[in-house]
Structure 1
């Protein structure tokens, strides 16, 4: 349905160099139509008459007309004096930049931690977009330069290179979505260089003393100790562990199934039950009732799943209690690091379910040192 008539100005000759027009009262007007007013309602407004020169009054008028058209394209209803969007899930060329990101995020799928990470980046995007006055800029008008300036401003405010790169990565996800909607021909965020960043070496269990500290958890909370051992040898993420039900476990054949949720795709993947923790799996399995989640409240089976961050926080709490300065994911790093040392990076990638070893390198933190050690032992007779 047509929303408005042609926007006109009184006097009709406002664009011409007629000095006598400066003595007249100018007015912009058009007819607006909506479902409740199919015959239309006259809309009139001024604001240019304060100008002292003809040229200034003409320029103000042009700007006011352009802004009115832009607002109407975005869904502005001058009768209600508010924006009326027929479908909040739709993004157009004229949707404001930050609003477009908010709408896009609603359509993204992923585990809770991924969505939380995106929301965190969106806070930074919103803050610096407002600062640079591009938050309400038409999405189609946002440029590579705008985004580069946004990221540069983050750096100037002393955000770490890691945080700036993470925000860039999430902006790329948003603009990949906009590109699929044909708002952009290419995702130009990929053309913005990442900042130099060297990841801090992960704290993992390496020494005999570290292992002694880890085993002290057994005396503090046996259920937590059992779960941390199972998690250590699983190669999984907390998001995957919380979804495992009794039916996903084959205790006789020593394997279990997890639901992988990456890149918006959901797949089932088989994982081995390591022989060192088989007895712990058997203990939980025997307690669990049909269809119950294996690792829930108090690390015991339950009809309802626990939140992944609850297990993450609990793990870190007990590791710190015994003097290990590491998070629960430090256990996953520990396991994959040991696997890569004894069996190579490819085997560690296989156990973790990674499609390439590049990802595994982030977990097997000492793999380069292990590789050098193995290379020292190459025996070639000459």
Structure 2
């Protein structure tokens, strides 16, 4: 009698179909660790009277019984699945395990969306390479690397995929489902870092005049964004209570992957008039200072409104093919050109730069920001 190995140390015999007139059934012997005798897993078809009907049911029932034992880890003796559906274990399918791990991650919505996109493409490629059958315990570096290579990604995107997948595999290692993160041994690919575009002074003057004349409600946002070095979502998340004009400071929430950090930033002297003007219309502490129509209000505005406004009202109308984040790059370039530290103004949290500050060092950074003099347009 031929035996098939199942998960959790179980085995089963081949299925036997008995098709006598009086007794028609499908069965196999189910063996499990800790049990002296095998369990007979049997399903009868006697209630179906005609042979034609029995033949039709026999095929689907055999398929169902095979799937329950071989793929879903069903124990016919206890009539239970050996692990609950949705619970990860070392025998879980690779796709199921990674998706469930991502579901449990506390990422920011934007970051989670990026990881979901990369994971989806990775799993699709894994299936195309006929590797979709792999259990999480069987996944190795070669499987991940071959799958990533098959996607023919740019070096930069390859590295991004690897980082996102590695964060998921790290959790599986922590839970003991796998021993080694298969992404650890995959080398990071070299890529050329292109020099970021910046606006010329003439372009800045043209944009400033266009906004002031045609879209004055956007003017304060334009100047504050340009002179802050912040990201768009960071400004849109600012409430009146986050801003201290007396100290020339504001507090943003940095959202980077899994990291949420509250960090103080300085209002540089050239930007102060725009902050003061914007704050005059903020009535309550919980008001976002840039709500809809770029005016203070109780509702947070999504960053896509800003991007679309810039594309339609600025780029297309003026004829300048540069996105709004070129303002940030331009400001940081001018900060560096004036011999200030662009890294400190931008507030990057990289281990090689400004990573972890002591309290005294953080205060010195903030005071240094307040001394920056960059001309507003």
- Residue 297 of structure 2 corresponds to 302
Q: 1:150 to 1:270 in 2, by over 3 A?
A: same
The 1-side partners of 2:330 and 2:80 are apart by: 56
Once the two structures are superposed, residues 299-354 of structure 1 have per-residue CA deviations (whole angstroms, 9 ceiling, x without a partner) of 1112111123332333344441323322222222111122122224xx22222222
2:141 touches 2:182 (CA, 8 Å); kept in 1?
A: yes
Q: Find out whether 1:86 has 2:81 as its counterpart.
A: no
Matches within 5 A, 1:31-50: 42-43=41-42
The 2-side partners of 1:239 and 1:41 are apart by: 62
- Residue 234 of structure 1 corresponds to 228
Once the two structures are superposed, residues 117-147 of structure 1 have per-residue CA deviations (whole angstroms, 9 ceiling, x without a partner) of 1122122112212211223421111110011
CA RMSD of aligned residues (A): 3.6
Q: Structure 1 stretch 240-249 or stretch 92-101: which is displaced more?
A: 92-101
Once the two structures are superposed, residues 73-94 of structure 1 have per-residue CA deviations (whole angstroms, 9 ceiling, x without a partner) of 3xx5889x99897363x32112
1:204 touches 1:331 (CA, 8 Å); kept in 2?
A: yes
- Residue 178 of structure 1 corresponds to 172
2:108 touches 2:257 (CA, 8 Å); kept in 1?
A: no
- Residue 203 of structure 2 corresponds to 210
Once the two structures are superposed, residues 253-291 of structure 1 have per-residue CA deviations (whole angstroms, 9 ceiling, x without a partner) of 211111123352332211111222212211221111211
1:94 touches 1:140 (CA, 8 Å); kept in 2?
A: yes
The 1-side partners of 2:66 and 2:248 are apart by: 68
1:98 touches 1:129 (CA, 8 Å); kept in 2?
A: no
Q: 1:82 to 1:307 in 2, by over 3 A?
A: farther
- Residue 312 of structure 1 corresponds to 307
2:252 touches 2:262 (CA, 8 Å); kept in 1?
A: yes
Q: 1:351 to 1:10 in 2, by over 3 A?
A: closer
2:211 touches 2:219 (CA, 8 Å); kept in 1?
A: yes
The structural deviation recorded for 1:68 is 6.3
Once the two structures are superposed, residues 27-76 of structure 1 have per-residue CA deviations (whole angstroms, 9 ceiling, x without a partner) of 634399xxxxxxx993469xxxxxxxxxxxxxxxxxxx998655243xx5
The 2-side partners of 1:268 and 1:229 are apart by: 23
Q: Find out whether 1:150 has 2:144 as its counterpart.
A: no
The 1-side partners of 2:230 and 2:99 are apart by: 30
2:238 touches 2:252 (CA, 8 Å); kept in 1?
A: yes
| Long gaps (5+) in structure 1 | 12-24, 33-39, 46-64, 361-382
Matches within 5 A, 1:100-119: 100-119=97-116
| Secondary structure class of the residue paired with 2:30 | strand
1:93 touches 1:183 (CA, 8 Å); kept in 2?
A: yes
TM-score by length of 2: 0.71
Q: Find out whether 1:340 has 2:336 as its counterpart.
A: yes
Q: Find out whether 1:251 has 2:277 as its counterpart.
A: no
TM-score by length of 1: 0.71
1:203 touches 1:325 (CA, 8 Å); kept in 2?
A: no
Q: Find out whether 1:139 has 2:132 as its counterpart.
A: no
- Residue 325 of structure 2 corresponds to 329
2:242 touches 2:250 (CA, 8 Å); kept in 1?
A: yes
2:27 touches 2:42 (CA, 8 Å); kept in 1?
A: no
1:244 touches 1:294 (CA, 8 Å); kept in 2?
A: yes
The 2-side partners of 1:210 and 1:168 are apart by: 39
Q: Find out whether 1:128 has 2:143 as its counterpart.
A: no
Once the two structures are superposed, residues 213-237 of structure 1 have per-residue CA deviations (whole angstroms, 9 ceiling, x without a partner) of 3212222312223212211122222
The structural deviation recorded for 1:293 is 1.0
| Secondary structure class of the residue paired with 2:345 | helix
- Residue 57 of structure 2 corresponds to none
The 1-side partners of 2:184 and 2:278 are apart by: 46
The 2-side partners of 1:41 and 1:278 are apart by: 81
Q: 1:283 to 1:209 in 2, by over 3 A?
A: same
Q: 1:272 to 1:145 in 2, by over 3 A?
A: same
The 1-side partners of 2:262 and 2:269 are apart by: 22
1:319 touches 1:328 (CA, 8 Å); kept in 2?
A: no
